[in-house]
Amino acid sequence: MNLKLLADFFNRVTLFKNEFYCRIFKLFIEFSSCHNKPFHDFS
């Protein structure tokens, strides 16, 4: 297999993983900050 292709593939996979974890992290932060608010802020 072409080494450049392999490196490109790994770069894309890492980028995809980073974006995936970033989204989950943001969702988690939104979720926890939502639950830390008093109930009247849920409107």
- Give, for 35, the enclosing helix (H) or strand (E): helix 3-36
Residue 8 lies in domain:
3-36
Tell me: pLDDT of 14 over 80: yes
Q: Is residue 7 part of a domain?
A: yes
| 18 lies in some domain | yes
- Which pLDDT value is given to residue 32? 82
Number of domains in the chain: 1
pLDDT at 34: 72
Q: Say if 41 falls within a structural domain.
A: no
* d(C-alpha 38, C-alpha 32), whole Å: 12
* Residue 14 counted as domain residue: yes
Task: Report the predicted TM-score, pTM, of the whole model to 2 decimal places.
Answer: 0.50
